Amino acid sequence: MYKYDFHTHTDFSGDCEFPMEIMIEHAINNNFKKLCFTDHFDYDFPSTELSFQLDIPAYYNKFMELKEKYNSKIDLLFGIEVGIQPHIYDVIIKTINKYPFDFVIGSTHVINKQDPYCGEYYKNKTKKEAYDKYLKEILYNVNNFNDYNVYGHLDYIIRYGNYEDKKLYYKDYSDIIDAILLKIIESNHGIEINTSGYRQNFKEPHPNVDIIKRYGELGGEIITIGSDSHNPEHLAYNFDKACNLLLKNGFKYFTVFKERKPEFIKIPCV
């Protein structure tokens, strides 16, 4: 069966070493129908170790070159993952509108100019305080920023929290999570199932199963599946589990995008 991956990175992202063509060849050899590149654009990212600025002209030119080269073998889509921060909304919008993106993931990687990857963010905060602040940042963004298609890995913060139990439990933040999901649904956006959680030993995707289930209960329909791959071996990682999870929780379709417009694909996909 065909595979569709809508969250992937290449060496145009500051945290990936693999060229775009290597990713494409792996996808072709593993029966992919569609592959969407979503390299990082995190303007004003608070790190001196990695750069997430993204050379978009070079990214676009390479994509177009390879799209033409592999046109008969795979459907390649031009996407981007933008790190949303309130003070750079205008920069993001201006950047996105310069290029013909098929798909835009909006993600919260930074909270009040602090990267949760670094321990400083958690200093003098309980888990509840740290996670609550993160979710409030997402809620502010979905209420004030509109130029995205799906919101990425909604419980991303659990990757880095220095807590014995890192999981973000829906029941502990139900009011704010419901507000986030309802705004996403009402504004005709969606969320993703990000399967990187499976390979990071969380035993479930981002966001976790309870949040995905709640999204469906609230009427959410737009949901993409992405591996968040930074390595060709991780492309479409555990997509069978993701599809089974969707079916188990009442979803009949997953979503792909082209020219920023959603298309619904009947499950199963792999």
pLDDT tens digits, 207-244: 999 999 999 999 999 999 999 999 999 999 999 999 99
Q: Report the CATH number that the domain containing residue 249 is assigned in CATH.
A: 3.20.20.140
pLDDT value of position 50: 57
162 vs 232: which has the higher pLDDT: 232
* pLDDT average, residue stretch 96-110: 97
Is the pLDDT at 138 greater than 70? The verdict is yes
- pTM of the full predicted structure? 0.96
Is the pLDDT at 48 greater than 70? The verdict is no
Mean pLDDT of the chain, nearest integer: 94
* pLDDT average, residue stretch 153-167: 91
* pLDDT average, residue stretch 155-161: 90
Asked if 219 contacts 183 with a C-beta cutoff of 8 angstroms, the reply is no
* pLDDT average, residue stretch 167-183: 97
What percentage of the chain carries pLDDT values higher than 90? 85
Range of the domain at 14: 3-266
* 3-state secondary structure (DSSP) of residue 160: coil
pLDDT value of position 51: 59
- Cα–Cα distance measured from residue 45 to residue 187, given in angstroms and rounded to the nearest whole number: 27
Pure H helices in the chain: 20-29, 56-69, 89-96, 127-144, 174-186, 196-199, 209-217, 239-248
Lookup: tokens for 6? 């809508």
Q: How many other β-carbons are positioned within 10 Å of the β-carbon of residue 112? A: 12
pLDDT value of position 189: 98
pLDDT value of position 259: 98
Is the pLDDT at 258 greater than 60? The verdict is yes
Angle, to 10 degrees, between the axis of helix 174-186 and the axis of helix 209-217?
50
180 vs 50: which has the higher pLDDT: 180
Is the pLDDT at 119 greater than 80? The verdict is no
Is the pLDDT at 47 greater than 90? The verdict is no
pLDDT value of position 44: 86
Look at 1-5, 24-28, 59-63, 126-130 and tell me which has the smallest mean pLDDT: 1-5
Is the pLDDT at 80 greater than 70? The verdict is yes
Is the pLDDT at 203 greater than 80? The verdict is yes
Number of structural domains, the chain? 1
